[in-house]
């Protein structure tokens, strides 16, 4: 039991500190304000290799290169938006973890809600078309008598 708790604690500890391991000490800027800006920008950019992590969390070589590029642009005096614009111009809007709502990304933003609403409409139409089960035809007097005889007192 103790082993399992230690293993679970190690996994949680590793997941929590994963982002701290991604940014290497050699990448960090001496100026704490610039470093904070670099980290904030890095959390908005998708790792193009991992695709589900920011470059701040990723250990991929491309993420390392992008983190260095962000820091280089900040040292050159770019604003945060200028850095983001530079990287988007180079790698496309896909590099943003939260892409803007524009014609290029309409399918990305509107696809899931359209699928959910469309699926619900189809299910609703199918359930209405199906309707209720047809009622069985009435038994004749002869059929009722025979059923009573077969079932006895249960009818």
> At residue 87, does pLDDT exceed 70?
yes
Query: Rounded CA gap, 17 and 22, in Å?
Result: 9
> Contact 2/16 with Cβ under 8 angstroms?
no
CATH fold of 2-104 reads: Helicase, Ruva Protein; domain 3 (1.10.8)
Domain ranges of the chain: 2-104
Per-residue pLDDT reduced to its tens digit, 115-147: 999 999 999 988 888 777 778 889 899 998 898
Structure confidence at residue 113 (pLDDT): 93
CA distances from 53 to 36, 56, 109, 128 (A): 19, 8, 19, 44
Average pLDDT, the chain: 83
Please report the DSSP string for 56-105 in residue order: TT--SHHHHHHHHHHHHHHHTT--HHHHHHHHHHHH-GGGBSS--SSGGG
């Amino acid at each position: 039991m103790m082993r399992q708790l230690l293993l679970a604690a190690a996994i949680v500890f590793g997941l929590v500190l994963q982002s701290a391991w991604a940014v290497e000490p050699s990448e960090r800027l001496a100026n704490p304000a610039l470093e904070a800006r670099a980290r904030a920008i890095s959390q908005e950019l998708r790792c193009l290799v991992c695709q589900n992590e920011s470059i701040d969390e990723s250990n991929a070589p491309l993420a390392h290169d992008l983190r260095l590029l962000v820091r280089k642009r900040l040292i050159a005096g770019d604003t945060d938006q200028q850095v983001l614009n530079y990287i988007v111009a180079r790698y496309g809007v896909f590099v943003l973890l939260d892409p803007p709502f524009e014609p290029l990304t309409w399918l990305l933003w509107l696809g899931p809600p359209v699928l959910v609403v469309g699926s619900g409409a189809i299910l609703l139409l199918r359930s209405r078309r199906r309707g209720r089960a047809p009622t069985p035809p009435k038994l004749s007097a002869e059929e009722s008598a025979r059923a009573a005889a077969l079932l006895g007192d249960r009818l």
